Structure 1
Amino acid sequence: MLEKASNFPKVTVILRGYTYDQCRCVVRQLIGSKLNAVEVAMNTPGAAETIAKLVQEFGSEVHIGAGTVTTAERARTASAAGAEFMLSPINFTEEIFEIAREAGAITVPAAFTPTEVMKMFDMGADIVKIFPAACATPRFFSDIQAPLDRMPLMAVGGVNGNNVQEYFDAGAEFAGIGSGIFDKEDIRALNESALAEQIKAFENRVRW
């Protein structure tokens, strides 16, 4: 658990509902930046094909994974596409864990209570995603780790460039951020220069 988590990027960019070309445009801008992980949500049309193409072209430079892995079927599809990691807004089942383990993928199921967090780690999670983090608040991360010790937790849901450091300061090791980094219209318009500026602006808000 800790070994995989220690090598995982601090921030993961969440892409949901975008075409392959739009995703590719974002990933191109991430090369060489501190934002070097992307998850493509599995409820995006053509998600598996997008993941596979991104892995083939950028897999050596950017970590490419699958988000919204809520079923074993989605886990198998993500595995076949070459996803390096799998995230979900809910708990993983044993079957999903097994599929991910066989694929060598890092597992990031979600939880919202201390009991759910420990259950996911006990079942083999590498990182546990607290979702929605904005409802839990940054304090949740420090409060839960006081009695349960340090754990690799990821803040997702309502996290953006203005508040992400609060989560890190409270004990979150990772964050997943979608619209909190980029202007959606710039992604849709393939506006590379604007996306590059937004990456730099975000990087400057975080103590890496």
Structure 2
Amino acid sequence: MQVLHRIALPFINATFITLGLLAAMYSLVHIDGPTLLPVKTPPVLRFTPIPEDSEVNLRHVKPKVPELIDDIPPMVKKDWPIDADIDDITPTWIDVPPPPKGTLDVPASNQLTMAMGFPPVYPARAITSGTEGYAVVGFSVSPAGEVFDAYVIESEPGTVFDRAALNAIKKFRYRARTVNGKPVATAGQQYMFRFELER
């Protein structure tokens, strides 16, 4: 009896534990199914296309032309007295030796030549208000002829035309200055953009 008790008790305990684990696993795995939310129908957008043969009225705004000023003061011409006796001047000749070869870096071309220039885009806000003016832009030119380091030196009125002038100068192209046959960067250049409405 004791042997039966020793074998039966662990067997009964193991059976209950196994059944309990099976019930727990079933409850974890078994789902009644998802609860679905009601689906809302999306709103329908309705539009009517404009027929191709119909006329569309566009409002064209012409810029306001500023008034001309007739009372401009005349320029005053001044005659400056010259106290020099031209008859007493005699030319004198000075012998200057030629420079030694290979020591001077004389630029072959000191002038920059514009290769491409573009007019600035007139600001819409200035057109509607009838504003005219100018902008002086400073810039540098690379050896490739491209504009860089552009900045506004002076502009009137205010800063209305600054952005348009800077955008235009960045599109400019130049033939770069050459020193000893090689193109070099050039700084300190200036260009004035005038903004005037057509009359």
TM-score, normalised via structure 1 length: 0.14
Higher fraction of helix: 1
Higher fraction of strand: 2
TM-score, normalised via structure 2 length: 0.15
